[in-house]
Structure 1
């Protein structure tokens, strides 16, 4: 029987949906119980009839939880429309094609291949080639977990268009410290740190191996931390705290305070983090 203090708010289709929604509810301070039909004595017998499982929430927070879940599922559905690189706005390609390559290279700290009329863009441990005239992005050396998709093309185009030749601020900030970030980076736009922690478990060693595989440099923060260069002017700091019997493991992502000098829009920053998270999780069981 359901706990009398909790009521059903959503039937789940799969484990991915469960992880996403439970993380979002937790970040919004809404207590939630996950009941998976796969983990019952019936060993998944009811999954085809009832779904993968249920989420239960306190009755007095049912309306708030329902609104949050509806927003996330709506966003998931819209994101499925934006997976193909060809769906990136043509205007971005046209704008880049009209810029002076020398200026782009100076601002973004990239190089220009005149034989191919394309920009060579360092990305994590690899190199990309952006060809505005062909409306194409190529993976010259693909970092772990990198695949050619909508988010990768979007981030690279915005970086080449927007990057400024300004020095780093030398101050690390969280996503909620970015103007507008406190409202934007929540619900469907929350960073996937919860799902990464599920990949790591409580194993700091797995975190360290994954970050080192992407070129991360150890720094002194938390129980383990790495500075990671995603793009030439975009460093990230990832900080891991071990869990114990009182507190779960925790993962935080920090930006140099100059981040919006290089990527202006919050949704582009969110896409950047999704790309990095995918690279981190690639060698781990399940990935992202």
Structure 2
């Protein structure tokens, strides 16, 4: 278990599960002493005592395999706070401290998304819907994916042509920085792109 993961579980253990459930827009099942959190539209059982995360949704996306899920789930719950998405979308670089942070090793995974879906906008939308998302306006195709209930990720795709390559953009609600620090938001965006590629690859 990574150090950050261990710290997130320890922080979560100290919090009142009822308060966490309310603030994270999750549920607390008292009889089983577990939290139920929706990630990508799928329900996950989160057992704080056992430090275990288990998907119980019907689609069985197997997203536990994504690198960041085991860190981000306890961290999102442990960091749960009152702000709710207000609908003002921003580039991650526009968040406080974001312009210095989202570069080099923390570059946003937009090129991966653009490359993968450059000629298949319908597939892009289909994958977004499979991840619990919905269509939205923007680019040649755009989806809002509920990576976490209070941290939706808007993904926009512009198709390439002879003059310009395909490109993608990732946007967050301006309140995201009040719920997770920049490094965790970066991991959330990476996990979202990984989930999109994984779902696209598993349904060819």
Alpha-carbon offset, residue 87 of structure 1? 2.2
1:118 deviation in Å? 1.3
Q: Secondary structure at the match of 1:147?
A: helix
Whether the aligned pair in 2 keeps the contact of 1:163 and 1:262 (CA below 8 Å) is: yes
Alignment of 1:1-288 (within 5 A): 86-89=1-4, 90-141=6-57, 144=61, 146-148=63-65, 151-263=68-180, 265-285=181-201
How many angstroms does 1:213 deviate by?
A: 1.6
- Inter-CA distance 283–160: structure 2 relative to 1 (3 Å threshold): closer
For structure 2, list consecutive stretches of 5 or more residues without a partner in the other structure: none
Tell me which structure has the larger Cα radius of gyration: 1
Q: How many residues align?
A: 201
What's the CA shift for 1:149? 5.7
Output the TM-score relative to the length of structure 2.
0.89
Once superposed, what is the RMSD of the aligned Cα atoms? 2.0
Q: Which runs of 4+ in 1 moved over 4 A?
A: none
Higher relative contact order (CA 8 A, sep 6+): 2
Q: TM-score, normalised by structure 1?
A: 0.65
5+ residue gaps in structure 1? 1-85
Structure 1 residue 254 displacement after superposition: 0.5
In 1, the alpha carbon distance for the partners of 2:72 and 2:158 equals 29
Deviations 1:69-99 (A, max 9, x none): xxxxxxxxxxxxxxxxx22443322221121
The 3 A distance-change label for structure 1 pair 197 and 286 is farther
- Contact 2:135/2:143, CA 8 A, preserved across alignment: yes
Superimposed CA distance per residue, residues 37-75 of structure 1 (whole angstroms, 9 cap, x where no aligned partner): xxxxxxxxxxxxxxxxxxxxxxxxxxxxxxxxxxxxxxx
Indicate conservation of the 8 Å contact 1:139/1:148, yes or no.
Answer: no
